[in-house]
Structure 1
Amino acid sequence: MRPEPGQVLHFSEDPTIERFVPHVAPTSKLKESYVWAVDHDRCPDYWFPRACPRAMAWVGPRTTEEDAARIIGAGCGERVHAIEYGWLQAIREVRLYAYRLPADGFAPIGDPPSAVVSTAAVTPLGPPERVGDLFELHEEAGIQLRVLPSLWPFWDEVIASTLEFSGIRLRNARR
């Protein structure tokens, strides 16, 4: 599930959204109101139930072969997503939807950019689309999906490496 040219996506478990209105996310450190979406490259970050903690790492221009082999695995592609065992059932059962939004009016946010945002309300280009099997999406994209008892040992290795990374909803991970 990726956007077409001129589009960005917003993933949600709510299939009834008719208009996205800028708001301050409850967990955001930013005080500005935004509508949040993702581009083609960041879509896989959201192929999960909303509350699911996930640690993600991928090869970037500064990544060493040693770090890629040690953390992602030799011959295992260029990207790995890790979740905890406790989230397997939720990933199997979640009804996740993608809203296609016009890319005009969205700008990258973060350094490096992790999403795109709009400060204006946005109407979807059509009804939401059911995302489908999240395991299958990962397989088709060549993304290794790793299941761990806890994300923290993996996360500590990732953030100390030369890989690029993102952690989402880590506050929900086991301690």
Structure 2
Amino acid sequence: MRPNPGEVLHFSEDPTIIRFIPHVAASAQQPEPFVWAVDATRAPDYWFPRNCPRAMAWATPETSESDRNRILGPGGGNRVHAIEYDWGDAFPNVELFAYRLPAAAFTPFGEPTPSAVVATEPVTPLGPPERVGGLLGLHQAAGIQLRVLDDLWEFWDAVTVSTLGWSGIRLRNAKARRISPPSAGPAGWNR
């Protein structure tokens, strides 16, 4: 499930939204109200139940061969997503919907590489929401490894000090840390 040209997507478990109004998200690190959406590159970041904590890593041109092998694994493709076992039942059973929105209403958000797109005015979807379907199948079709881990933090800590690109979403919902984190590298973002 990716946007068509001229579109961005908003993923939700609510199929009844008829207009998106800018708001300050509960997890926001900025005070401005926005409507949030993603482009085709970042759409896989949202192929999850909304509150599911996830850590993601992908190869970039700067990724070292040792980091690729150590984290993605030999023959492991270019991207991996990790969730906790506690989300194993919700992941395949969530009813997730995608809203197609006009890309012209949005501007890139995030530095140095945009992680999302935002609008500052209300946005009306281009049509009714679409049921996303099987999340395992989406990951498989996109060539994204999906790892189910007991401890998300070990993976996260390895990724954030690597040369891979990385992202973490809803990590506040992950199990408590067992160890202190190392300092994060420059290539990712977290919210």
Partner of 1:64: 64
Q: Which amino acid aligns with 2:37?
A: A
Partner of 1:90: 90
- Secondary structure of the corresponding residue to residue 168 of structure 2: strand
- Secondary structure of the corresponding residue to residue 128 of structure 2: coil
Partner of 1:73: 73
TM-score, reference length from structure 2: 0.91
Distance 2:79 2:29 in 1: 27
Alignment deviations for residues 124-168 of structure 1 (CA, whole Å, 9 cap, x no partner): 000000000000000000000001001000000000100000000
- Secondary structure of the corresponding residue to residue 104 of structure 1: helix
Distance 2:121 2:61 in 1: 34
Distance 2:168 2:68 in 1: 18
Distance 1:125 1:52 in 2: 27
Distance 2:133 2:105 in 1: 28
Partner of 1:52: 52
Partner of 2:183: none
Query: What RMSD over aligned residues (CA atoms) do the two structures have, in Å?
Result: 0.5
- Offset at residue 103 of structure 1 (A): 0.2
- Offset at residue 5 of structure 1 (A): 0.2
Q: Which runs of 5+ in 2 are unaligned?
A: 177-191
Partner of 1:145: 146
Alignment deviations for residues 106-129 of structure 1 (CA, whole Å, 9 cap, x no partner): 011001210000001000000000
Distance 1:40 1:92 in 2: 22
Distance 1:31 1:66 in 2: 40
- Secondary structure of the corresponding residue to residue 145 of structure 1: strand
Partner of 2:172: 171
Partner of 2:189: none
- Within a 5 Å distance, the mapping from 1:4-153 to structure 2 comes to 4-111=4-111, 112-153=113-154
Q: Which amino acid aligns with 1:104?
A: A
Identity level (%): 66
Greater RCO between the two (CA within 8 Å, min separation 6)?
1
- Offset at residue 92 of structure 1 (A): 1.4
